[in-house]
Structure 1
Amino acid sequence: MTAGPGRAQAPSDEVVELRVHGVSAAGAAEVLGRPLVRQVAGDRSAGFYRPRPGLADEHGAGGVTLEAYRWNDLPSGTALRTLSLLFLMPFMLLNVAVWMRPGDAVGGAMVRALCRVLGLSLTALYVLAGAGVALDLVAWQCLSVPACIADREWLSWMGGRPVGLRLVVLALVPAAAVSLVWWGARRPGRSFTAFRAPERASVGPPLSTIGQWDTEPLMGRLRSIHIAVAFATLDGCLLAARAAQGVPPTVAALLAVTAALLLACVVLVCVPPLVDRAPTDPRRDRVARVLRGTAVGLTVVVAGYLLFAPARWRTGGGLPGYGSILTWLLVTHAVLLGGLGAVLLRHRLRARGHQPPNGLGALVVAAAAGGLAVAYSAELVQRTADLLDRGMSPADDIPGPARAYTWAIYGFFRALLVTLAAAAVVALVSRRGRIRAAQAIVERDFPAPPAEAVPRLRQVRTMIVRARFTDLLVPLAVLFAVMAGAGAATTAMALVHPEPGEALERRTHVPAELVMFGIEVGGVALSAAVLALVVAGIFAYRSPGFRHHVGVLFDLATFWPRAAHPFAPPCYAERAVPELARRITYLVRDGNGVLLSGYSHGSVLVAATVLQLPAEISARVALLTYSSPLRRLYARLFPAYVGDEMLRGIGGRVGWRWRNLWRDTDALGGWIFSPHRADEPARVPGPEATVDRRLRDPESLVAPPWDSVPPPINGHLPSEDDPAYAETVRDLAGRLRANGP
């Protein structure tokens, strides 16, 4: 077929099986199962591939034409970008949290507003970490101690300089870091704007909007607001230090302007008409840019005032006001998490047919984002303090980082420790029930196993037991969210107690030394975790096989458009979904039927794509999903975007030419409508009952006559080589051919 995309041909018997892989696939050859492939559309980042013509196995089951969409390079990038994403991971997680909001308008708006304010707090926290290193540890503490700057030429040139000059010069470090992130966030935002759906779909489920709207105007406004918060936070640190020496009218006025700027930023992100709507309205862009310019100008004014206004600085201890600012920021973060949890819990309690924990995904991910940001910040400041303090005598020791960081490490380590302990308890308590369920499954699948198959049968049962533990992660994640929020709240103790060990010794009689030893262990573990992330980022960039394991989080998180934090990585679905829709439209108008096949996370991509297809195009489309997390994970985590109504809408759009293959050994994927077996009646009425098909895994327990090892236990692995997959392809292709002419 050679017709152009604008020229329709009469339907034919030809069917194209378009395969969409899951996260971090190795390549198009692996997806197609053919060693030699050629690219027929797309570019180096993502494209469509077919087997090379002339091969004996050019076609698939049922004579379909094989084609694969390879998109796994869209979320990746250079090694430097991969490493930067590791440290910007809290922003990425928070951006995912905003998409986990409830489906009702009021609850969704409140979750969106709270997540965006939490995003502002994370930006401020990162700036405070930079200020803690540059202003508190170096400019204020280290440069005031001769032993600290001895043998350090990169610092000694500032020794003996006026305090105001030291603060202004070292403030350039966090200011430069903010500017670098600002510059980097502007670059990738336009990479996918050239890809739009060929035709706008009619109003439908919310998931159909993925890839249909341009997020750049929103991100431009949010970038300006976050940059304003960043510079205003830096100004607050400088002015708080100056106010501790006395509060002349100029300092009071500058503090008032700084507070007004921060309040204006909070109001802007909480009022959707000021940020979200009217993407082409230059007035809203102008408001955000004016706010950003005012914050940058205020920083210049504050720096000039510290340089030229006379002041008698009383040095000693930590940077005045810095610890209080950090503590109150962490307390505010905990209050915001509490408000987010209250909104989500209220919504789930009012929703019928759902358990409350299933609707708290936004709280869990937001708490994880905050905990990770606190861990990064605390470790950066703590390790810098260790570096500066190395080799100094006790009499010359610098005071060290703010006490709030010690409390933050204590809170994060406590949350992690309690959650791991709870996970161990849950695993042990639930193990007997999971073993019973797994035993019942293997007895029905393999009713009379031979004696030599007993070890293999035990392996299958173990796989099912492990796979069922996924369903127990929801309450554990909620527990971590609650503990992380409580950990952030306990940083308020830094205002009244110097160290966690002393406070706990007074209340619980636990030796302070034991508590501080635990905190030190937690700090070392945190440092090791950060180092492991860096090493993982390097290997993920260099090794596609390793990227398959560590890149899953990035691929899943960057599916959702940026809506909460502008410094999160761009959304590849803004290209992938419209590009898939464009390709399917071309193939159908060229006279083909299209069997759209989605594996794992690829099933989410194809679901969003089907919702964007016009009716005349989807009438020539069939859908095959396998190892799909749509029901098991996405329906729980993203209730506003994936639910029964949306799933039924997908089936209706393709005329219920939809099959979903799933296994009991799969820890991530599962059934869509009904978990029944082939010999059981479906648990749902109507055409939904025909969608799900359970696959026995493995096919048998003993090696076939032509092999020396038994068939593998596939679990979450792809199913293209499974005979049931080929049978399903033949069935769906036959239905497309029967429906075509």
Structure 2
Amino acid sequence: MVELRVHGVSGAEPTAILDQAPVRQVAGDASGGFHRADRPDDNPDGRTLEAYRWGDLPSGTVARTLSLVLLLPFMLSNLAVWMRPTARREGAWVTSLCRLLALDLTVLYVVSVAGVALDLLAWRCLGAARCRGPFDEVSGLDGRQVGLRLAVLSLLPVAAVAFLRLLGTRRPRPTGTSLWVVEPLVGRLRAIHVAAALAMLDLILLAARVSVGATVVTALLLTLSVAVLLACAGLLVVPGLLDRAAMRERVTRTAETLRAVAVGLTGATLAAIVLDERAWPSAAALPGYDTIATWALLAEMILLVSLSALALWHRNPGDRHRALSRGLGAAVVAAFAVGLAGAFSANLVYQSGNLLDGYRGDGGPPVPYQWTLLSFFMHVTVGVLVCVALTRLSRRRRRRAAASVTARDFPTVPPQGAGRLREVTRAVARARFVEWVGLLAVAWATLTMIGLLAGLLRLVDLTPDELATRFFRLPVGVVDMGLALGSYSATAAVVALLLGGVFAYRTPWFRRHVGILWDLGTFWPRAAHPFAPPSYADRAVPELAHRITQLTERYDGVLLCGHSHGSALLALAVLRLPPHVRARVALLTYGSPLDRLYARIFPAYLNEEVLRQVGERIDWRWLNLWRDTDPIGGWIFAAHRPGDPPPDPTDPAGRVDRRLRDPSDLLPAPGERCPPPVRGHHPGESDPEFRAAVDELRARIQGFP
């Protein structure tokens, strides 16, 4: 018998997973491999331990982990598309809105880089204003024709798109394996996003050129650029168009044609503005750029509010997880993606202008970015206040529920155990905060109105200074302070993410608590944004299924033990196993978030129906261990708490879950000085309850009841 253990997001070392040293790798590579003890202990029961370590698949090196910070808004927008609700019609529209929003993030990225390269450097620093040296004489372009300056510095946004393309490239495939599946949508999405990015760059250049009058050439190029943008959006907005097998070849050819047309348009646009010898307007800012940036930011907020409204409108009364199963998870994660992308873009333009001193004397940075920084600061402030308020308001109910749990677990408490009982009750109360995630999602989704309101105010040509002085009678310094705070908040977010990426890679404790963002965000394949980090599940899941198949050919049975996120990898691997392999496999999950988190956040993909399929395929040789003190894991089908009604005896799913009392006792055992610890989300492979579950499942594989 082989006991195959798969760790969670903590990224534990094989020696810790196996509790043996030294270990040797028997399959896989350095990023994801299978390990066994070099000199395994004697196992009279015939059990062989093996560990699958996948912790380096999401990140790997420090440099790659830091690159995830730059791709974080794209990663979140891609994660949102997998949070679609269960209803087919609403789910299809949520998918379309998420893909449109992801496309707008790419457009906004190009607009912000163009704001630095074209508006700040080419137009202001080399023309209307004089920036700090050496940026007032960039590559000898000072005094050159405006069209030539714009054309040369347009290479910066093009290089920025190529840089994103490079960061989103998958690492080389491991040698000797063909298990790494290609994500089917990435090629089509990448062609669409590249075409839209180049078309937006052309639109910025042509809008500035036609501000003094359009020629036949510039009018034609402008029309074609708008047509390419609309065609890219059209391919994404039609529900299911990108996913239909019958349309796959046609959509691929269309997307690649759009990309080729966009490349040709960009070359023609650069040539047109260089060869056009007409005079340019003497404006302080690049003509048309302010309007384009406004609509790019406003489109984000319109899509985000539409996504939130669709999720709130959707009803599914029979679902246990009503709030998040309506798709609110998609709206919340998309709100984070939009907020971070807007803040990063606005801060890039704002801080670049301050660094180069290119915004003096003309009203400051572009107005849409002023509103974005202010709304980001307001959103963060209000969001923190809402989280604090919800935490305090829910504390009494959580403690009351926790007290009922500990009262049933420890009905008789000696006087010396009263303090310990209070500690355990607090641990259970903290773990139950996840039950309030749905209400928090509703509150956070409604905060998207802040960004929409800021965009509408800019649309009516109302600046933050005018709003403060005309309507609220506030001094202008208040607006400047708000802009500075918004910029500092965005900078602090970037610094915190960079430090988090370093510590998540180097510090196991930090990775265990924060690394879930990276591991969960890169778990799902790229179905919305092609520049998101590559998925690791399309390697890990087939690799696990292949290894399980190999082991069943050499051993009598394989017991799969998955902790935390490892339980999700194993559950998906079970769905890929052929029938003759499933007959010799059993599953043990512990600290599993399959129902408590994943079924709520991803209701269309990891719902109860899918989980029942997992149990049916292995003939319900499945046990799930959970604790009330665990803030992440929980039961999957039935809680089995003391006092709960017994499940249906005819339903095999009711026998999957096993609740563990945590801690095992309040007082130290005889001869011990310290009481048993609160295990919480700790794996606990050496606990007696875990070993008992292993023995039971081994007996089931061998055909014993």
Q: How does 1:258-657 map onto structure 2 within 5 Å? A: 258-271=225-238, 275-278=242-245, 283-349=250-316, 355-359=322-326, 360-389=328-357, 397=361, 399-508=363-472, 513-657=477-621
| 1:322 Cα deviation from its structure 2 partner | 0.9
> Which of 45, 59, 67 is 1:76 aligned to?
59
Task: Give distance in 1, aligned partners of 2:471 and 2:381.
Answer: 20
Could you tell me which residue of structure 2 aligns to residue 733 of structure 1?
698
Q: Is 1:253 aligned with 2:220?
A: yes
Could you tell me which residue of structure 2 aligns to residue 200 of structure 1?
none
Whether the aligned pair in 1 keeps the contact of 2:128 and 2:283 (CA below 8 Å) is no
Q: How does 1:28-177 map onto structure 2 within 5 Å? A: 28-56=14-42, 63-144=46-127, 147-150=130-133, 152=135, 155=138, 157-177=140-160
More relative contact order, 1 or 2 (CA 8 Å, 6+ apart): 1
TM-score, scaled to structure 1: 0.89
SS of the aligned residue for 2:652 comes to helix
Could you tell me which residue of structure 2 aligns to residue 206 of structure 1?
none
**Aligned residue type for 2:689:** A
Tell me: CA distance 1:676–1:545, structure 2 relative to 1, closer, same or farther (3 Å). closer
Whether the aligned pair in 1 keeps the contact of 2:128 and 2:284 (CA below 8 Å) is no
TM-score, scaled to structure 2: 0.94
Deviation track 1:685-728 (CA, whole Å, cap 9, x = no partner) reads 42222111111112222333443322221211112122111111
**Aligned residue type for 2:577:** L
RMSD (Å), alpha carbons: 2.6
**Aligned residue type for 1:450:** P
Tell me: CA distance 1:352–1:379, structure 2 relative to 1, closer, same or farther (3 Å). same
Q: How does 1:210-229 map onto structure 2 within 5 Å? A: 214-216=182-184, 218-229=185-196
Which stretch shows the higher mean deviation, 398-407 or 570-579? 398-407
Which stretch shows the higher mean deviation, 46-55 or 522-531? 46-55
Q: How does 1:6-21 map onto structure 2 within 5 Å? A: 15-21=1-7
Could you tell me which residue of structure 2 aligns to residue 204 of structure 1?
none
Q: Is 1:696 aligned with 2:696?
A: no
SS of the aligned residue for 2:314 comes to helix
Task: Give distance in 2, aligned partners of 1:215 and 1:323.
Answer: 37
Task: Give distance in 2, aligned partners of 1:228 and 1:191.
Answer: 31
| 1:635 Cα deviation from its structure 2 partner | 0.8
Whether the aligned pair in 2 keeps the contact of 1:659 and 1:693 (CA below 8 Å) is yes
Task: Give distance in 1, aligned partners of 2:558 and 2:134.
Answer: 70
Tell me: CA distance 1:313–1:477, structure 2 relative to 1, closer, same or farther (3 Å). same
**Aligned residue type for 2:499:** V
| 1:526 Cα deviation from its structure 2 partner | 1.8
Tell me: CA distance 1:453–1:154, structure 2 relative to 1, closer, same or farther (3 Å). farther
> Which of 637, 644, 665 is 1:673 aligned to?
637
Tell me: CA distance 1:543–1:195, structure 2 relative to 1, closer, same or farther (3 Å). farther
Could you tell me which residue of structure 1 aligns to residue 10 of structure 2?
24
| 1:479 Cα deviation from its structure 2 partner | 2.2
| 1:627 Cα deviation from its structure 2 partner | 0.7
**Aligned residue type for 1:381:** V
Deviation track 1:317-364 (CA, whole Å, cap 9, x = no partner) reads 222111111111222222222332333334335766653454211111
**Aligned residue type for 2:25:** Q
| 1:18 Cα deviation from its structure 2 partner | 0.9
SS of the aligned residue for 1:318 comes to coil
Task: Give distance in 2, aligned partners of 1:189 and 1:399.
Answer: 49
| 1:518 Cα deviation from its structure 2 partner | 3.3
Task: Give distance in 1, aligned partners of 2:583 and 2:704.
Answer: 9
> Which of 705, 710, 713 is 2:678 aligned to?
713
Task: Give distance in 1, aligned partners of 2:173 and 2:102.
Answer: 22
Task: Give distance in 2, aligned partners of 1:661 and 1:507.
Answer: 59
Corresponding residue pairs, total: 703
Deviation track 1:91-146 (CA, whole Å, cap 9, x = no partner) reads 11111111111233322322222111111100001001101111111111122356
Deviation track 1:593-650 (CA, whole Å, cap 9, x = no partner) reads 1111110011111111111222222121111111111111111111111222222222
Tell me: CA distance 1:192–1:545, structure 2 relative to 1, closer, same or farther (3 Å). farther
Whether the aligned pair in 1 keeps the contact of 2:590 and 2:624 (CA below 8 Å) is yes
Whether the aligned pair in 2 keeps the contact of 1:178 and 1:230 (CA below 8 Å) is yes
Which stretch shows the higher mean deviation, 432-441 or 226-235? 432-441
Tell me: CA distance 1:696–1:110, structure 2 relative to 1, closer, same or farther (3 Å). same
